[in-house]
Amino acid sequence: MPDNDLARIAREFQLEYPIATKSEFVEQMSRSPEVTFRGVAYETRFAAALIPGFFFPISSADDLIRKATELLATRGLRVPAPPSTGATRRPGGRPDGPARSIEEILADLETTITDPTVDETDRHRIEALDVLTHAFEFVGHPQALELWRAAVAGHLPATTRDTVGTMLRYMKQAIDRGDWDAVSAVCDCLFDLYHPESPRVHIGGIRRTAPPA
Would the CA dihedral through 190, 193, 199, 204 be positive or negative? positive
pLDDT in tens, 188-208: 777 667 655 544 433 344 333
**What letter represents residue 83's amino acid?**
P
**164 has a pLDDT exceeding 50:** yes
Q: Which of 2, 8, 49 is nearest to 28 (CA)?
A: 49
| Residue 72 CB coordination number (10 Å) | 18
Please give the mean pLDDT across all residues of the chain: 81
Query: Exposed (0-12), middle (13-18) or buried (19+): which is 120, by Cβ within 10 Å?
Result: middle
DSSP H stretches of helix in the chain: 4-12, 22-29, 44-48, 61-74, 102-114, 123-139, 144-152, 158-176, 180-186, 191-194
Q: Give the span between the Cα atoms of 6 and 210, in whole angstroms.
A: 30
Residue 77 has pLDDT above 90, yes or no: no
Has this prediction a pTM greater than 0.85? Answer: no
Question: Of 170, 157, 167, nearest to 130 (Cα)?
Answer: 167
Cβ-in-10-Å burial (0-12, 13-18, 19+) of 9 comes to buried
In terms of pLDDT, which residue wins out, 58 or 37?
58
The amino acid that residue 203 corresponds to is: I
Q: In angstroms, rounded to a whole number, what is the distance separating the alpha carbons of residues 206 and 204?
A: 6
pLDDT beyond 50 at 97: no
Alpha carbon distance 75, 188 (integer Å): 17
Beta strand pairing call for 40-43 and 34-37: antiparallel
